[in-house]
Each structure stands twice: as structure tokens, then as C-alpha cells.
Amino acid sequence: MKIENVPFELTDWTAVPETIHPGESGVAHWRTVQAGDVRVRMVTYSPGYLADHWCSRGHILLVLEGVLLTEIQDGTSHTLSQGMSYQVSDEVAPHRSSTETGVRLFIVD
């Protein structure tokens, strides 16, 4: 990721409109700011959320609250809790997210 042509800007996440994205089960609530080619999001997954697709997009993801299970399409899985993060490049490790209890994330991609 190369961040170019993005001025200094503050974000009040409570003022960013929320969009709802249904999963295979549960829902994801996104608050999204587009900064040039970079998408920055605050995301909340409801309890019982399971993504409805395998994602090949690169991300930097930080767990703010809760527990996230990230499955890699090769069969491995990783459990992340508050304060943990991962980073992955585009097309490297298709992955999908789920949570039993709900989770709040900060994602840059």
C-alpha cells in the first residue's frame, strides 16, 4: 500500500454513516472513509457473524474489542483478541472472518 495525495484529516467515527452488510450469518456494520486509494473502516460484526465470501484483498486489521476467527482458504485458522492485528497483501491468502460473540475492528485496505 502506498498512501499518496491524502491531506491530513481527522475522522469522527460517530459522524460517519453506517452501512450494513449481511454475512452468511449475522451482519457487519461498516463506517467507511475513503482517503485517495486507501479505504479506512471501523467494522462491527454481530455475534454469530460468518462472512459470505473468501476475501482476497489485502488488509491491515486491528481487533479493538472481542474475538475474531480468521480462516485462511488453505485450511489454517487464527484467533485474534483485543489488541491483536494481522496484515496481508492482495491475492496472498484468501480469508474469511467469523465471530461467536461479536467483534469491533479497525481495518485499512
Residue-wise burial string across 21-59, b where 16 or more C-beta atoms lie within 10 A, e elsewhere: eebeebebebbeeeeeeeebbbbbbbeebbbeeebeeeb
Q: Give the residue extent of every domain in the chain.
A: 41-108
Amino acid type, 97: S
What pLDDT score does 5 carry?
84
What pLDDT score does 29 carry?
98
Does domain 41-108 bear CATH number 2.60.120.10? yes
At 39-72, the pLDDT tens digits run: 999 999 999 999 999 999 889 999 999 999 999 9
What pLDDT score does 1 carry?
66
What residues have CB less than 8 Å from 28, skipping those under 6 apart? 20, 21, 22, 43, 44, 45, 46, 49, 51
What pLDDT score does 3 carry?
81
At 1-37, the pLDDT tens digits run: 678 888 899 999 999 999 999 999 999 999 999 998 8
